[in-house]
Structure 1
Amino acid sequence: MRELSIKIKIADREYPMTVKADEEERIRKAGKLINERLKSYREKFGIDDKQDLLSMVAFDALIDRLSVEDNRQGADESVLNKIKSINHLISQSI
């Protein structure tokens, strides 16, 4: 897989990194979303301290991730229950 050297700017600071070509778009999008959240918090709460803003964005991102994991776990359990139900119906019809 081909690797690219790119720079991502977050909170007015550039971060050079080497990424796989197929991950470049996702990484650039992540950088853009971080900057959008920084701007949103700055405007919403009037906070200018970059460390505070970055901490809030990190906390918010972790909450989002935990929510996704909880939803995925619930969906996995639902699918497993449906499979068990289908297996039970199949075994009854044999």
Structure 2
Amino acid sequence: MHFDVAFEQFHLFPNPVSEQLAVDLADLGKVDCRLRIFDALGQEVYQVDAPADSGQVLFIDTRTFAPGVYTLSVTSQSMARQAKKFVVVRR
């Protein structure tokens, strides 16, 4: 898996996360995006398309994810694919 890391255009929080991950896409502007989440083995475990009019922050329910390290990839037509790591923990 290869990702081009450009300047920071999206934010995710909290990290680590236990129940709900917020992905702030406000800095991307009004563009369609595809979000994909991969586990530590590189297997895709989640995918969602976010239309430009879907709002600035997306919430992802992580309660069904096993504890561990994940990679969130954001792709749009106007930017290179970007990725950030996050950790799922159980409390």
TM range (shorter): under 0.3
Q: TM-score, normalization: structure 2?
A: 0.24
Q: TM-score, normalization: structure 1?
A: 0.24
**Higher-RCO chain (CA-CA 8 Å, sequence separation at least 6):** 2
> Whose helix proportion is higher, 1 or 2?
1
> Whose strand proportion is higher, 1 or 2?
2
